[in-house]
Amino acid sequence: MNDFSMLTDIAIADAYGAAFEYVRDSKFYIRNDLKRYYKHPTHNIKPGCYTDDTQMSIAIARLMLSNDIWTKRTLAHYFLDTFRLDPREGYAKNFYNFLKSTKTADEFVSNIKPVSVKAGAAMRSGVIGLYSEIDKVIEYATLNAKLTHDTKTGINSSIAAALMVHYFVHAKGSVSGLLHFLNNCVSMKCTDTWQGFVGADGMDAVNAAITAIVSSDSLSEVLRKCVDFRGDTDTVAAIAIASATNCSEIKHDLPQKLYDKLEDGPFGRKYLRELDSKLSAFIV
């Protein structure tokens, strides 16, 4: 699949959505026009730069492309190593400081307090959905959550976000069947009727992403709807686009300018395209 662009599209959604994250000023949303990347009114992240959603997805992709066995320790290693290669803002303050101060994977596993119900596990689990075996998707998405978000919400949102990708990548059904598929696999109820502000809860982010996908015909429409919800816009957008970009029913129409203006440093768009090329081998 030469046109496989999942990580690149996640980065675009993340970088675009980051400008609107938890912005309360209604007037600011007039910028939700997909014409360019915007600067967040208070954050220091430069327009076109992705955040933790993408970087942690990259870490999981690197693990998938390695010969390493999936364990909490190996996953922690890739999170730490990927961050050290390219330290960047966008993480929650406490977790950012944790990554900076943690020296080894063993130290990560020993010292992390995995009690969060937030969307941190779900935001990065989409790439796990590339595995062809659904049992493996669920197993690895669960392990992903247990490392940092070992709660019912954390685990189920991670599984759901991975299965959303799996459903479309491996042609399990149409857009209209997505919700039924998820509710047969996930122990917490998924919905496609989300309305309004999206807080930090993992399942809320997943449900907003599902709603954007099933009510849209194009990636541009999905992305704009994710931002229009408001709240945790970059995470909802990353989860939704990870899935929608693999759906044959959804038009791939993200503006070329968003591709062209996506960051292009050592771990920017060229690097992401290289990872996408390697990840395409997971698609049979």
| CA 180 to each of CA 3, 191, 236, 241: distance values in angstroms, whole numbers, following the listed order | 28, 9, 20, 19
What's the longest Cα–Cα distance across the chain?
49
Is the distance from CB of 252 to CB of 245 less than 8 angstroms? yes
| CA 71 to each of CA 31, 109, 273: distance values in angstroms, whole numbers, following the listed order | 42, 10, 27
Query: Is 235 among the annotated ligand-binding positions?
Result: yes
- Token digits for 234? 């970059």
Is the distance from CB of 190 to CB of 183 less than 8 angstroms? yes
- Token digits for 17? 């959505």
Query: Is 253 among the annotated ligand-binding positions?
Result: no
Query: Is 276 among the annotated ligand-binding positions?
Result: no
Beta-carbon-side half-sphere exposure of residue 94 (alpha carbons within 13 Å): 7
Q: In angstroms, rounded to a whole number, what is the distance separating the alpha carbons of residues 164 and 149? A: 19
Query: Is 204 among the annotated ligand-binding positions?
Result: no
115 DSSP β-pair partners: 149
Q: Is 88 exposed, middle or buried (0-12, 13-18, 19+ CB in 10 A)?
A: middle
Query: Is 234 among the annotated ligand-binding positions?
Result: yes
DSSP state of 19: T
Is the distance from CB of 13 to CB of 241 less than 8 angstroms? yes
The label of the residue with tokens 């945790």 reads 232
The closest of 71, 83, 76, 156 to 122, measured between CA atoms, is 156
Q: Is 43 exposed, middle or buried (0-12, 13-18, 19+ CB in 10 A)?
A: middle
Residues tagged in the binding site annotation:
51-53, 232, 234-235
Residues tagged in the binding site annotation for Mg(2+):
51-53, 232, 234-235
